[in-house]
Amino acid sequence: MSTLVVAATASFPATAGPGGRTTDAFVQRDGSTLTLQGKPFRFAGTHLYWLGLDENVGGVDHPERPMTAIAELAPVVRACSWGSRTAVPALLGQQPNGEPQAELWFGAHHATPSPLTSRPGTPDPAAAITADPVGELGEASHAAHGPRLPFLPKLPAAARALSVQVHPTREQARAGHDREDAAGIPVDAPHHTFKDRNHKPELLCALGPFEALCGFREPARTADLLDALSAPGLERRAASLRSHPQRDSLGYTLQAALTAPRRLVRAVADALPALAASPGPWSSAAAAYATVADDFPDDPGLLAALLLNHVTPDAGEALYPAAGVPHAYLRGTGVETMASSDNVLRCDLTDKHVGTGLLSEIVGLTATRPSVTRASPTGVRGEAHYASSATEFALSRVEVGAEAVCLTDAGPQVLLCPTGEALLEAGPALAAGAAAFVPAGRPCAVSGAASVLYRARAPLGGVS
């Protein structure tokens, strides 16, 4: 072991630098390996030749170089009953296997982290982050979110309605998780609703025709819908929606919907096709509710769905349901980014655990307009950003062409290529359905033949 004395730093007093390092520490050399304060050190510049460490001249191998290379993320296919049997295979250029394939995951989620295809010794981003959290995430992201990737990009492909669901605020998640832990409920139990102490904001950008339900409609308008259905048993619910304050009427009608008798659910399901086929303001929404009835026969969640706005974002438009806003995705494919959390409260239309007892605690009983948004241009050529209040992630859409665009960032990124092909100058070529993990600060220039990338990253200046 030898010590490399750098004269330019020898005369400076010891001062604390970033991360507590001191500015007068010495680089240690052991053969072709350099370390600084016990960590791998890479030297760049003309003096590298005279140190005998120039790989281009002497063929020196650096097995201990820091693991900061851009690497391809292999997608993890998630099967679920609501998934399309054709959309994901078509995206990946594969033959359908006849099974529903609901999502592709690209990230470091503990349940199914995506494999890194070109990082020997680090099978996935979670392992890479564990080995070098600051090197992979950057100091700002590590300080804000800890040693983990704070977001999870997905590509959902829905051919059947998802559950009507709602996500808690961070404060609600912490209180609920601690309460269930104190009660001794195993975290993997179906009725352990709050799986972690984090909230779960999510933003979904449609890749093509997309259909969803999002947010409570104004109670009086929903009463008009119930009148138009003319199903026996809806009269009292319509009267309640018109005669009580908004919070009371929505709360009562939601609870009554989820406990409705089967005969009422069937009566509504029978009335929907006729309303969908008739001209008027309810035809499109009624057709959507009819698909829900077909997907989940006799499920009282259908009556809960009637309370929600029907939305159809176009390709390139995004939905951002806030905490407490009930929503359900019905049909379509998109790119979704969310905080890394498993906290979901489901309200029927599902085979999973239904947490109706917690609705009064989590659901915001306020009518809201669906938050369908378009992306706004940023200072980066070809990039447009989807605004949200999330602090864990930012999502943007990047049109790339023959001239490379620089996407270097101080925090971690995942670049997802849903169609076409993108070329990373310091990383892999991305085909349709592929993604790349870009460590913090890694130079990243991307080009392609009329390709579109979706860029998920950690917003280091606060909300995205």
Residue 346 falls in the annotated catalytic set: yes
Other beta carbons less than 10 A from residue 158's beta carbon? 24
The tokens describing 254, both together, are 């939601």
**Residue carrying structure tokens 């008027």:** 280
Which string of b and e fits 249-269 if b means at least 16 CB within 10 Å?
A: bbbebbebbbebeeebbebbb
Which structure tokens are listed for 60? Answer: 């020196």
**Could you say which of 237, 346, 455, 457 is catalytic?**
346
The SS3 call for residue 392 is coil
At residue 212's C-alpha, the angle toward residues 206 and 216, to 5°, is: 130
**Burial class for 147, CB neighbours closer than 10 Å (0-12, 13-18, 19+):** middle
Residue 103's nearest CA partner among 79, 74, 72 is 79
Q: Is 225 in contact with 264 (CB distance < 8 Å)? A: no
Q: Cα separation of 268 and 264, whole Å?
A: 6
Place of tokens 């407490």: 324
CA separation for the pair 363, 419 (Å, rounded): 37
| Consecutive H or E run containing 251 | helix 246-258
Cα distances from 127 to residues 62, 95, 124, in angstroms, run 20, 31, 5
* Alpha-carbon distances of 418 from 106, 259, 328, 343, 421, rounded to whole Å: 12, 41, 23, 27, 9
Closest CA to 442 of 425, 460, 430, 454: 425
**CB of 340 closer than 8 Å to CB of 196:** no
Q: Which residues are catalytic?
A: 346
